Structure 1
Amino acid sequence: YGLTVIMNYALSKGASIVVLPRFDLEQFLAAVQEYGVTFAHLVPPILVALAKHPIVDAYDLTSLEGITSGAAPLGRELAEAVEGRLGCVVSQGYGLTETSPVTHMAPNREKGQTPHASVGPVLPNTEVAIVDISTGQRLGPGESGELWIRGPQVMQGYLGQPEATGATIDEEGWLHTGDIAYIDDRDDCYIVDRVKELIKFKGFQVAPAELEALLLSNPHITDAAVVRSPDHEAGEIPKAFVVSDGSLSEEDVMSFVNERVSPHKKIRRVEFIDQIPKSPAGKILRRILIDREAQGTE
């Protein structure tokens, strides 16, 4: 993504690129101010900081015209909060390493051009299908299922791994992404979460990313992650790991979410922590939290 979408594409258009050795919020803000950066490719955890961290106000970010978010689903409330604070357009795209690496991109020339929670329409010459993960049946608009991709950007396969390739790309050339998504009546696509991340509560499937986006809309919550927690009665229940300003109780967090979601999506356990574990790319390392939770409930 960094090589193809950011570096090579930008250079082909004659753009200047500001490259940082690693992400540091203050260093990033200083670079935007010093170099007059107009466009940034970011991940949702960085947008959380741009929306909520007080140090942002110490820098002049008026040069920023647009931000494209990727790597994980971006909630509508968070995108709108960043737009409101910085005055730039926030959009998102979607793709995988196996798709070289983009399949969807939301138009971003002006605010409101694409729904904030959407990754936009599919790219030209690319086909998509939404498929029921249990039955393999194709689904219609508004129905959530696994996103399949077919197009010229889909990889030939994993080098030297025919079994892994066969498990990912079927005989008709469809790449099974492992992501749950749906498409609306405008043909805009919405990424719900990874299939393997879904929480199975009494036969219902709960997407952690939806609950995380809701948690982050609370002004007293600076970061959050939701994972499955073992439960003898339900099998699995949603548990929230929360970084807050210290003003909330566990009951406050659960009430905030549970008043806004269906019964099966309710947060049923909360734990306050100092920091959400993340990869260098900014993705939540849910596996660390899941393992921690499994050990704690044994």
Structure 2
Amino acid sequence: MSLRALRTLVAIARHGSFARAAEAVHLTQSAVSLHVRSLEEEFNAPLFDRSRRLPVLTEAGHLAVERAREILAIYDSIAAELGDGSELRGRLRLGAIHTALAGVLPAALAAMGSAHPNLRVNVASGMSAELAVLIEAGDLDAAVTTEPVKPYPHGLVSTVLFEEGFWIIAPADADSRDPRRLLQDYPFIRFDRRAWAGRTIERELRRQRLRIQTSMELDSQEAIVRMVASGLGVAVIPMSERSLAAFSSLVCLPFGEPQRMRRVVLLEREDRPAGRLAVALAEAVRAQAGHMPTHEE
């Protein structure tokens, strides 16, 4: 049994076909088929039902995929466990929401890079729900996301990194400081409702029965802030109180009574394939955020 064959098996389960799995693991389709046959011979059990157009895992196949993921997670974490007790090495496949990439994450990664020169971190951006799916599929080791809300993939755990409040932001020359008037009288620049933060904002707007005039819907917080600063409307965004100083040229008011909050978490699979690497990342992010919560779920 080879690790490469196990990676091929997991790729087939993830992508749903031998052809797409071959592309993912950079092999020919015949090589993928050969890997499957070798595993079936070694396990003495059929892993796929080949009577259908697309391969469907048998009961034995489902068990083999589950165990293959466990074996690969252990193998991939070995590099992080080697070396002396303080130095980290190996690779961390990390996902992150856009607000983290524009906020605390760059400084946290720079600090980790200085402390652990043999550590490689590959970063991918996306929305929280998308990143959760990639973690569940094994394409990412961990991700900095908003706290999961249902529905989200089974078998994930989250560690709280820091909290942020939701704030109404408006141009400096806005003629009101009343939250309801700002939201109802000015064009509203929405945070993308496909994002968990966007859905939180939408629920609160409905709870308050606010009639807003949507002019834009964007998935970039930086773009939203620039639109507001240019006088094109008002918006609601999540940010920490520590970040408020950077918005001194705008009107900033708490959103919701009491103010709506969100938690930013490190999301991982239950088997925590990144091990010490993820723990070190969490510590670095918390240090940059200036907040050290210990709640975990």
- Quickly name the TM-score band, shorter chain normalised: under 0.3
Could you say which structure has the greater relative contact order, defined with CA pairs below 8 angstroms and 6 or more residues apart?
A: 2
Whichever structure has more helix as a proportion of its residues is 2
Question: In terms of Rg, which structure is larger?
Answer: 2
